[in-house]
């Protein structure tokens, strides 16, 4: 049995197939498994909560894990060792989430492209047709992650408290969320997964996209992301498409198209979830 895992900071999707691509059981969803922000104990707890995964753990021969927080050696090794300790018969490969986006969005296996992720967090890499290249090391949601769910959640909270949000939206915002300062600070500074908490506010963006304030907020975030992340690959940018993956990218397609035209890069594919593309990729390459 092959397990293919697409993991963000908020949630992880697990698909199990045999070597012929037949589904072994329905897709499993667990909490996010970001080894850069969660302890080994928390990671193990999130995996073991799935009765289905635990029931079939002895049948797993391969795990292909793609996740947020797996871009550097230490968290990648931690997660690989943890998965091997649970799925004892499995060969485990752990890749950063950008590689999942690459394999899911490319038009052909050896296509060169700039590939971006806009989900709970954000990232951007250049794929030369064989290898991934990143010029900027991510420092995570507190400092980077432009145009991500947690970025937009932070902007909404700031604008609400600084009174920059239009009055009608403020009324809607406060009716949907607990915006008491003590409650917000508790979630940000006392509870785990502050990035996922911030990202939970992003849903408000896409329920109110008819507002000029919201539209401008999204486009401003994408411009910042493009300036800081996409344009680090300025030398190759005129020659390759820019693909996107992630829920924020999917629901911001019109704004991304507008910014792409404005800033002069060639927009490629936009995929909400890489998992289906990964399924095809690994079925074709496991034999």
User: With 80 as the cut, is the pLDDT of residue 275 above it?
Assistant: no
CB 279 within 8 A of CB 17: yes
DSSP at 200: T
Give CA separation, 121 vs 106, 215, 225, in Å: 21, 20, 11
Give the containing element (helix H, strand E) for 229: none
Distance CA 250, CA 203 (A): 12
- The distance of Cα 77 from the centroid of its chain, to the nearest Å, equals 20
Looking at residues 74-88, what average pLDDT do you find?
Answer: 95
* More reliable by pLDDT, 10 or 203: 203
Q: What percent of the chain has pLDDT over 90?
A: 73
* Res. 159: pLDDT tops 70: yes
Mean pLDDT of 49-60: 95
Residue 287 has pLDDT above 70, yes or no: no
Question: Domains in the chain, please, with CATH?
Answer: 2-100+274-286 (3.30.420.40)
Looking at residues 37-65, what average pLDDT do you find?
95
How far apart are the C-alpha atoms of 229 and 97, rounded to whole Å? 16
pLDDT digits (tens, 9 = 90+) for 188-224: 999 988 999 999 999 999 999 999 999 999 999 999 9
CA angle 62, 66, 69 (to 5 degrees): 135
* Mean pLDDT on 121-136: 91
Distance CA 201, CA 31 (A): 18
| Residues whose CB is less than 8 angstroms from the CB of residue 118 and which lie 6 or more positions away in sequence, other chains included | 147, 148, 225, 244, 245, 246, 247, 248, 249, 252
């Amino acid at each position: 049995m092959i397990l293919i895992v697409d993991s963000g900071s908020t949630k992880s999707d697990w698909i199990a197939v045999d070597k012929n691509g037949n589904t072994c059981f329905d897709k499993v969803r667990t909490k996010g498994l970001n080894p850069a922000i969660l302890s080994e104990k928390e990671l193990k707890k999130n995996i073991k909560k799935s009765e289905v995964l635990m029931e079939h753990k002895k049948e797993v021969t391969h795990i292909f894990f793609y996740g947020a927080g797996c871009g550097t050696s230490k968290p990648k090794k931690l997660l690989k060792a943890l998965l091997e300790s649970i799925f004892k018969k499995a060969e485990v490969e752990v890749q950063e989430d950008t590689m999942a986006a690459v394999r899911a969005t490319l038009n052909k296996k050896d296509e060169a492209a700039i590939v971006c992720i806009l989900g709970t967090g954000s990232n951007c890499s250049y794929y030369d047709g064989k290898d991934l290249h990143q010029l900027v090391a991510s420092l995570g949601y507190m400092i980077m992650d432009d145009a991500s769910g947690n970025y937009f959640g932070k902007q909404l909270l700031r604008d609400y408290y600084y009174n920059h949000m239009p009055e009608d939206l403020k009324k809607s915002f406060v009716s949907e969320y607990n915006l008491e300062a003590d409650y917000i600070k508790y979630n940000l500074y006392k509870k785990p997964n502050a990035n996922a908490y911030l990202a939970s506010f992003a849903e408000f963006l896409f329920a109110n996209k008819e507002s000029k304030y919201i539209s401008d907020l999204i486009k401003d975030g994408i411009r910042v992301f493009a300036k800081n992340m996409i344009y680090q690959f300025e030398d190759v940018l005129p020659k390759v498409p820019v693909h996107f993956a992630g829920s924020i990218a999917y629901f911001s397609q019109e704004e991304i198209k507008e910014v792409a035209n404005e800033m002069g890069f060639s927009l490629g594919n936009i995929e909400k979830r890489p998992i289906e593309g990964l399924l095809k990729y690994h079925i074709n390459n496991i034999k």
